Chains A and B, each alone.
Chain A
Amino acid sequence: MNRHTLFGGAYAIAFFSFLFGPLIIMSMTAFNSSRFPRVSPWECFTTGWFNELFGNARLMEGLLNSVIIGVGVVALAVPIGLAGALALSELPAKLRAALYTVLILPILIPGVVLGISTIVLWGQISRGMGAGFLYNGYFLTIVGQITFVSAYAMLVFIARLQRFDATQTEAALDLGATPGQAFRKILLPFMAPAIGSAAFITLLASFENYNTTVFTVLSESTFTTALASKVRHGTDPSLSALAVIIITITLVGALTNEALQRRKEAEMGGRASRSPLYLNPVTRTLTHPGVVLAILVAVIGGISYAGSQHDSSVCEAGVLQEKLDRQEELRAAQRAKIEAMEAEQEKTLPKSNSAFGGAFGGLGTPAPAPEPAPKPESPSAFGGAFGGITAPKTDE
């Protein structure tokens, strides 16, 4: 048994490395002054990419659009999802299976198809009825996203509804409540936590969505579509900086949520009176979700402030100089090599590579092998380093 536990543990570690490794490495690149997102060679610690990120007008405009669209989607998808879950709970088995299939389908249909079908339908409607105002990116994106986002909300509600004890409603009716009162006073309060999580999930799904939105948003752009076009047209570490921000928010949210869940559980289960953490007034305050959140926010605020004061220009200038020197030397070496080749034809390449690899690998990492003719598509070291300066910020 022990052997299996060990194997299971090792597998879990490997698995979570796969899950978090890419995110950690990406986050690290946000603090490297290298123009191409990478961790080695490490050039200078910098916080400049965050400024670059906030200075990106297109992303910031997309952010605003995403918020507008997200609010619209949440406001519609949550009630629709709730309605779907309630409808399923009342239907006879056969019909329920059929409706479930129909409602769950939008999650499975490729987002591209949803996006296309949405603009085609509303394009026809606005042309046919002269209602051109319907044909705008905000409206179409909200409509297109609702189609499948509602299904996410519905799944949340179905899970919660399954734990609802229907005799609660009956008890309320028996005690004189009208069906409507029972719905408002018993079922809705019971569903309240699910409404919260459904709102959160739908907002996230709306924000994240690319496949559908890239069609429905027309000439506007959301945060995600702006992000995607930026990634497609050359990358720089300001995207990593964005990832750092999102990961930080996520971690804060997750920790606060965990504190909230723990406390709720302790209070509900009557375990509260027994837990020593809960009895001691100091630890009790410290584990309060609000306090947890405040502490986390304060710490992050402090770090951000310290980071914003950091000046890496001296170091960067040094690295730039080093790079220029190195390029000069590379050129010299190349010239020498060409001359050498002309002189004696059978000298092999690898040897000469390792020779100056040792010379320039200041941080102990070998310098990337210089390719006489770098492939245009592959972001090689130089392509990344210097291409980044003139990275195209064009629309498609």
Chain B
Amino acid sequence: MKHLKAAYTTLAARHGMGAALFVAIAVTLWVVVFITLPQLSMLDYSFRFNLPVDQLGTDADHYTLEQYRSFFFNNDGSINTLDITILVRTLVAALIVTAIDVIICYPIAYILAHGANGVAARLMVIGLIIPYWINEILRAFAFRVLFGATGVVNTWGMQLGLWDAPIDFIRADVALYCGLAYAYILLMIFPIYNAVEALDHTQVEAARDMGAPLWRVHWRVVLPMAKPGIASGATMVFMLTAGALAAPQILGGPSSLWFTQVIYQWFNESSNWPRGSAYAVVLLVTCISFVLLMMRVFKVSVGEIGK
């Protein structure tokens, strides 16, 4: 509090009373009304019963663990393997998508930072950004076109004689994984690029000069430099993939639900908001603990994200 006040005073001294007031009000509004209160409210809701409006505030309206219990256990007391499996599968899938993105983005980030220059680099940057100006839904749709039964992949695959009946890539989740990996490429490339760019290229050349093979140069020189970037990119890709809703709805096979879809169903199809809130809390807590755990393991801090 004391620090906040001091910061406010320096702000006022540097940019004037008006600017300081504006900053103070806007940031408070953002932190309290837009970020904190909704989460608290959702948390509160997740401990309540799903009551019709006329019963709110009556005796029936008290706190309960019912919503969380029903995530872990079925009514008959057995473990709710269905929902838990979906959550675990969502996390694993998000992890796989993140790994795919790291693998395909690292070389491009490196090429962008140290291989390409001038016009080539500019074109690459534009080329990276343009696909992200196109609606998320349409990007997913593109993969549906690509992987559909009569999509290009099936047509070409069969023409080349690789397989002779259309493969259902949608059901096999191939389209989903591709679409998700595609969706967050940019979020992986730029943090890695920023980290790798700081590397003095002569270091790479020096290492090459000493006869180190390319993979070793990367392992020993470039990768350590890229690590914070990878961590930052991976965090964002993981969180966004685990929290994705559109792509699973459009590209997901009929049998494989994403956990967000379960939440969506509780809200929009079953109109059970407390249950949906509880599931949302479960998703949030799981994702954040997972990311924090990974950050602990790879020794990076939250401050790196978004750089």
A interface vs B, CB < 8 Å? 1, 4-5, 8, 11-12, 15-16, 18-23, 25-26, 29, 36-40, 79-80, 82-84, 86-87, 90-92, 95, 97, 99-114, 116-118, 120-121, 124, 127, 143, 146-147, 150-151, 155, 169, 178-183, 187, 204, 207-208, 210-211, 214-215, 224, 227-228, 231-232, 235, 239-240, 242-243, 246-247, 250-251, 253-254, 258, 350, 365-366, 368-369, 371, 375, 377-381, 384, 396
Question: What's the Cα separation between A84 and B27 when bound, in Å?
Answer: 6
Question: What's the Cα separation between A118 and B273 when bound, in Å?
Answer: 12
Q: Check B142–A110 contact: CB distance below 8 A.
A: no
**Which A residues are in CB contact (< 8 Å) with B149?**
368, 378-381, 384
Q: Check A26–B141 contact: CB distance below 8 A.
A: yes
Q: Check A22–B107 contact: CB distance below 8 A.
A: no
Cβ-neighbour of B243 out of A100, A109, A254, A365 (below 8 A): A109
Interface bits B134-156 vs A (CB < 8 Å: 1, else 0):
11111111111110111110010
Q: Check A95–B3 contact: CB distance below 8 A.
A: yes
Question: What's the Cα separation between A91 and B14 when bound, in Å?
Answer: 13
The reply to whether the CB of B78 lies closer than 8 angstroms to some CB of chain A is no
Interface bits B163-200 vs A (CB < 8 Å: 1, else 0):
01110101100000000001001000000000000000
A92 shortest CB reach to chain B, Å: 6
The reply to whether the CB of B10 lies closer than 8 angstroms to some CB of chain A is yes
Can you list the 8 inter-chain pairs with the closest CB atoms, starting with the nearest? Answer: A110-B243, A180-B16, A83-B26, A117-B38, A179-B16, A121-B41, A117-B42, A22-B142
B interface vs A, CB < 8 Å? 3-4, 6-7, 10-19, 22-27, 29-31, 34-35, 37-39, 41-42, 45, 53, 56, 104, 107-108, 111, 115-116, 122, 124, 126-131, 133-146, 148-152, 155, 158-159, 164-166, 168, 170-171, 182, 185, 208, 214, 235-236, 239-240, 242-246, 249-250, 254, 260, 263-264, 267-268, 273, 276-277, 280, 283-284, 287-288, 291, 301-303, 305-306
**Which A residues are in CB contact (< 8 Å) with B53?**
127
Q: Check B42–A180 contact: CB distance below 8 A.
A: no
Question: What's the Cα separation between A38 and B18 when bound, in Å?
Answer: 58
**Which B residues are in CB contact (< 8 Å) with A227?**
135, 137-138
Cβ-neighbour of A242 out of B39, B138, B305 (below 8 A): B138
Cβ-neighbour of B277 out of A25, A26, A116, A368 (below 8 A): A116
Q: Check B245–A111 contact: CB distance below 8 A.
A: yes
Q: Check A86–B11 contact: CB distance below 8 A.
A: yes
A282 shortest CB reach to chain B, Å: 22
**Which A residues are in CB contact (< 8 Å) with B306?**
104, 107, 151, 155
Q: Check B284–A109 contact: CB distance below 8 A.
A: yes
Question: What's the Cα separation between A180 and B22 when bound, in Å?
Answer: 12
Cβ-neighbour of B267 out of A121, A215, A240 (below 8 A): A215
Query: Which residue on chain A has the smallest CB distance to residue B260?
Result: A112
Q: Check B135–A224 contact: CB distance below 8 A.
A: yes
A98 shortest CB reach to chain B, Å: 10
Contacts A169-B14, A179-B15; A114 near B38 (Cβ below 8 A): yes
Q: Check A113–B133 contact: CB distance below 8 A.
A: no
Q: Check A116–B245 contact: CB distance below 8 A.
A: no
**Which B residues are in CB contact (< 8 Å) with A84?**
26-27, 30
Q: Check B39–A117 contact: CB distance below 8 A.
A: yes
Question: What's the Cα separation between A90 and B87 when bound, in Å?
Answer: 41
Cβ-neighbour of B107 out of A8, A106, A204 (below 8 A): A8
Q: Check A246–B135 contact: CB distance below 8 A.
A: yes
Cβ-neighbour of A15 out of B104, B240, B244 (below 8 A): B104
A353 shortest CB reach to chain B, Å: 9
Question: What's the Cα separation between A36 and B151 when bound, in Å?
Answer: 10
Q: Check A378–B260 contact: CB distance below 8 A.
A: no
Q: Check B34–A147 contact: CB distance below 8 A.
A: yes
